[in-house]
Every structure is written in structure tokens, then in C-alpha cells.
Amino acid sequence: MKAQALGNRHLAAARFFGAAVLANLGLLAAHTPTGYLGAHGELTRVSAQFIGLQLSLALLGVVALLLGHPAGRLLGVAVLTINMGFFVLSIFADPVAAGALVLWQAVVLVRLVERPAALRTAVGTDWVQVYGPALRHVLTVSLVAWTVALGFRVLTHPLAAGLCGLLAAVAIVGSLPFLNLLWRSGLRWKLALPVVSLILIVASIGSLGRASIAAAAFESLVLVTLLSRLPIHAELASRFLRQPPALVVGTFVLLIVAGTVLLSFPAASVGEQPLAPVDAVFTAASAACVTGLTVVDTGTDLSFLGQLVVLMLIQAGGLGILVLSGFAASFLGEGLGLRGRRALGESLDLAAGDASRLVRFIVVSTLTLEAIGASVLAFAFAAAGSPPIEAAWRGVFHAVSAFCNAGFALWPDSVVGFRSHPPVLLTVAALIVAGGLGFPVLIAAWARIRRRRSALRTHARIVVSVTAALIAIGAVGYAAGEWNRSLHGLSIGDKLLGALFQSVTLRTAGFNMADLSMIAPFTFLWMLVLMFIGASPGGTGGGIKTTTAAVLAMAVPVVVKGSHRAVVFGRAVPLEAVFRAAAILVVALGAALGVLTALLLTQPIPFEPLLFETISALGTVGLSLGVTPELDVFGKLTITAAMLIGRVGPLTLVLLLGRRGPGRLRYPEARIMVG
């Protein structure tokens, strides 16, 4: 009980301390030019007086809470109530900053006035159980403070720098006992990255930017390691892993929410004004769902920070949160558990035992291929006249965007400026194909290189065969329809390369090297078919998948011949695969019909561009006929939902909403005439 009370006091003090510091930081973040808080980065006389009073009371309250004195909670309630009243009058002027601060203060106030038993988080005397929740809260608040100071461009203000430095100092000092615990537990290899971050912090003294990055890196590493050891981690993981569809959808929704918050900061935009909320949601969803549809120009409207956020969303969305979580668990030495391996295996279509072992191969192979592609593209961009640093950044951005089949580019016209530059087009196309083949195929290819037998050999042969056929047919079709239209003015070699590139990028990648407003009706129809089919299972692309189309195509001769089972490469196709493919097709068509109907009823835009936009969003392609910025708020939100459906898969949403019954009842068969 003594350990529980000690843990409760530290947690309450950490919450109160974090809320008080964030309130002071909010004085600089809030933007009320005509109010008493002032504009961004401005410290008014009223604000300065508030800081003096609030910090004095907060310091006394934190000390009293740590000592267990009853005055601690009274001071906490008083300070938090004052904070709420101070910012609530500014909500209408700045609903984002002021509203978030009021909400944070209200939550901490509710937690503070709860009975001590409600704050109990420890059962025992283990250091992590007693002090872990308080340390976790301080680390989280410190990371939030760094994000707010950077996002609102106030980090250079002495007050902001001082508050962030104070939080970082408390977080670092509070983390030292935990690091010592890891050292004494024999887990010394886990200390490598945090220790490197500490060294970088010391080495960066005098440079606020480098020191803040090193401090944020240290806090993030310690927080992740700490979370993996808290009981709440296992509890949440157990709940989510019981329903893999809920896990997949939930992780993408959380990723979109996090991206929306980051892109809403003024520092994410080039101008003084931040992105509109709906544009931030749309951009975050497009990046997380690796689609590429845009309502703002990534290269000119977003700052370097905004572009970096988009890149991180693309990488996380392409690999998948489940794969990244599995890699982090393997890196930290924490097992995924049977349910974790099963959920990961289901998402990758692998055996549960293989999933946990090969997730590291997936991450390492992805980063390796992206690094190779980034190097080639960087040299190509530098040769085209870009400065070295700019060429390197563009190489990394487009390599990740290409491998993840995202289609985001740092030029308003995508890669039209490189339509006669084979190194760029071929590298981007190769990365698109590698990412679109799917991780199971990459695993099978690696097994073949190492001369090992793979259980995925038949799947890999189907994927490679269908992909090659679609690329070839798509290139021929695009060349036939666009030879003297969108490809006009190019040499014969550039026309052939352009047709090949467009055929590759049509299936979920979204890069463009031609003016799509000039395409012929035949090309328009063929593009819809390729976008609808998409990439392959277990990869970074969308669509109904190449194997789904292949299984449905193989089922047709079976019906015609009256056979009982389709056979491919000497292997019988399971009936379950046929049923699943048919279900995916029906649900995808239903989703397309629903999205298109909603757009036609609300948007004053012709049918063909809206149809193209719908299939592009559901296939996570990212190509557009130029109508994306013309959509109103409802239209943008509709396309956002379509991108999410396309990324997680329509059937996943159906499985999430449906219930799997025991299937014990058996009914007599009915004779139904079909066709």
C-alpha cells in the first residue's frame, strides 16, 4: 500500500506539472491578435503576470503533492481552474490551441480530484509499476511540448525554449533510474540508442535545433521501451489482437488523426496560415493510405516539416502499423505473442510462425530498396540541376513514395518534367513494381535466392505472371490510345518508355508523366480497369488485387467446362479463395457505387471526372483529372473515406462490422437459377 500511495503521488504531481507547463507554453501558441493573449510568439503584459502567478502556485502544488500534503490537491484544483478560465475566453479566436489547452486542463483536473484509489496504477513494489506511469506522463508531455513549440514556430522564444528544456530535463533525470534498471537486468543492448541520444544532447549544447531533436529522440526511445514493459501494453494488445480487422482499421485511423494534428500546425505550411482542417485531414489520409490525391501542392504549399510529416505517414502507411509494431517488438526483445503473430500473419497472408520471424526482413528489405532507389534518384536530380542537399531530399522522398505506391511528388505536375529522362522514370517504375508485388513475393524471391523452398511459390508465380501481363497489356493499350495525344511530341523511345511508365503507375502508384486531360475515351476506360485491379496482396498498393482478378478469371473456365476445381501451376485453387475473391469484387463494386452516388448528388462536377476520382481513391492510385481541389468539404470527406476503405480493403470493413457465427446450423439446399 505504501508503494501504491507513492506511485499515486508521483503520477498526480506529473500530471499537474505537465498541465501547468503546457498552459504557459500555450500563451505563445495561441493566436489572438486582438485579445489579451496576443498573436503567435507574442508575450503580453497580462500573460507575463499570469506566468508569474501560475508558476509560483504550480511549484508549491507539485512539492505538496510529492510530499503527500493535502494542500497539494487544493493548489492543483485552483491552478487548473484558473488555467481553464484564462484560456476559455480565447476559444472562439483560436479554437485549436485554446480549445486543446482547456480540454487538457479539464482532463487533468478530473483526474486530480478523483479518489486516490482511482489513481492506483501499481500492484507491488517493482520500479516500473510504481514510477512508470509518472515517467510515461512526463515523457509524453515533453514530446507534446517539443511538437507544439516547433509546430507553432515559437521554439526560438526564450520562454518556449526554457519550458521545453525544463520538461526535457525532468524527463531525462526521471529516466535515469529506468535506464539503470535495464542495465542491472542484463538488457544493456537496449541502452544503445538512448545513450547515443544523450551524447548527442550534450554535444548539441549551443544549438537549440539539434539539441531539441536529440532530446525528442531520447524521450521517444525511452517512452517506447517503457510502454512495452507496462501492463497496459499487454492488455491493449490482447484486446486489439482478438479482432485483426479492428486492429487494421484502428491503426490507420489513429495514423490519420496523428497526421492531421501535425499538418494542422502553422509550421507545416509555407505561409503564415495553417492548412484548413479539412485539407489537413485529406492530406493525412491520402499519405497514410498511400493514395497521392492532393488538395494542396506538396512541394510548394507544405514546408520541409510538412513534407517530412507526409513522408513519415507514407512510410508508416505503406509498411503498416502492425509490421512496424512487430519490428519494434522484435528490436526491443519483446515477443509478439501467439495472437500478435497470428494477426500479423493474417495481414501478410503468412503462417503465424513465419510472420514474427520475417517481419524484420520486410522492414530491412524495404529500407534497403528505398535507399538504393533514393541514391539513384538523388544523382539523377543532381545531374538535372538540383543542388546536392535538395537533390538528396527529393531522392529520398520520391523513393519512399514510389516503393509505397503513394504517388506524392514535390512538383505540381508530378514527374512530367522528367518524361524524357529514363533514369528517373525507370527507377520510379522499378520501385513501384517492387512495392506492388507484395511482401510475400519478396520473401519468396529471397528464399529462392538463398536456394530454399518457399511455401509461397505458387502465390508468387501467380502474382509475377499477372503483374507482368497487366504491365504489358497496359503499356500496349496506353500507347495505342495516346500515341498522338498525351504522348505527342516525344520521340519513339520516350513514347514507349512513357507508355510503360504509365502502365506501371496506373495500378495504385499515382505518378504521372503526361497530361491526363488529353486522354482518349478508350484510355479512360482502360485506366479504370487497371486502377480497379490494383497491386498484389501483402504489399503497399490498393485495388482488389491481382490475385483476386486471377482467381475470378480462373473460375470462369471451371464453370464453362463443368469442372469442380480450378488448377494453376499444378495446384488446385481452394473454393474458399474463389468465394473470398467474389466477395471482394462485390463489396468493392458496392463501395464504388456508394461513393460515386454520394459525389454525384453533392458535387457540381461531370460524371466522368467523378468516376475517375472514385476509382482512383478506392484503388489508392492518386491520379486525378484535376477535380480534387474543386471538391467541397463533403466531397473531400467522402474521398477521404474512400481512400481509407481502399487501403484497409473493403472486405476488412465488412468483417469488422459483421459477426462470425458458430456455423452449427445446416439448411437444406435450394435450387436457384443463376444467369
Could you say which DSSP state residue 643 is in? H
Identify the band that residue 180 occupies on the pLDDT scale cut at 50, 70 and 90: confident
For 389-424, how does the pLDDT look when each residue is reduced to its tens digit (9 = 90+)?
A: 999 999 999 999 999 989 899 998 888 889 889 999
589-599 pLDDT per residue, tens: 999 999 999 99
Q: Nearest to residue 628, comparing CAs of 294, 283, 278, 281? A: 294
Structural element, H or E, at residue 604: none
High-pLDDT (> 90) share of the chain, %? 26
Residue 346, pLDDT > 60, answer no
Residue pLDDT, tens place only, 527-577 = 999 999 988 887 777 888 888 888 888 888 877 776 777 777 777 888 888
- pLDDT over 70 (residue 652): no
Averaged pLDDT of the chain: 81
- Domain boundaries, given as residue ranges, for the chain: 2-229, 558-657
Q: What is the DSSP letter of 93?
A: T
The model carries a pTM of: 0.85
Report yes or no: 547 and 462 within 8 Å, Cβ to Cβ. Answer: yes
**Arithmetic mean of pLDDT, 482-499:** 89
Q: What is the mean pLDDT of residues 209-231?
A: 78
pLDDT of residue 125: 47
The amino acid present at 480, given as its one-letter code, is A
> Residue 230 pLDDT more than 70?
no
At 121 the pLDDT is 40
Determine the pLDDT at residue 43. 80
How long, in residues, is the chain? 675
What is the maximum alpha-carbon separation in the chain? 86
Residue 568, classed as helix, strand or coil, is strand
Look at residue 302 and give its three-state secondary structure: strand
531 or 181, which is more confident? 531
Tell me how crowded residue 217 is: count the other CB atoms within 10 A of its CB: 17
Q: 304-320 pLDDT, tens per residue?
A: 989 999 999 999 888 87
Query: How high is the pLDDT of residue 635?
Result: 94
CA Rg, the chain, in Å? 27
Across 100-120, average pLDDT: 74
CA 415 to chain centroid: 24
Q: To 5 degrees, how large is the angle CA 409–CA 414–CA 418?
A: 115
For the cut 60, the answer to whether the pLDDT of residue 130 exceeds it is yes
> Which strand (E) or helix (H) includes residue 567?
strand 567-568
Cα angle for residues 88, 91, 97 (degrees, 5° grid): 105
The phi, psi pair for 622, rounded to 5°, reads 100, -5
Query: Tell me, what's the pLDDT at 119?
Result: 39
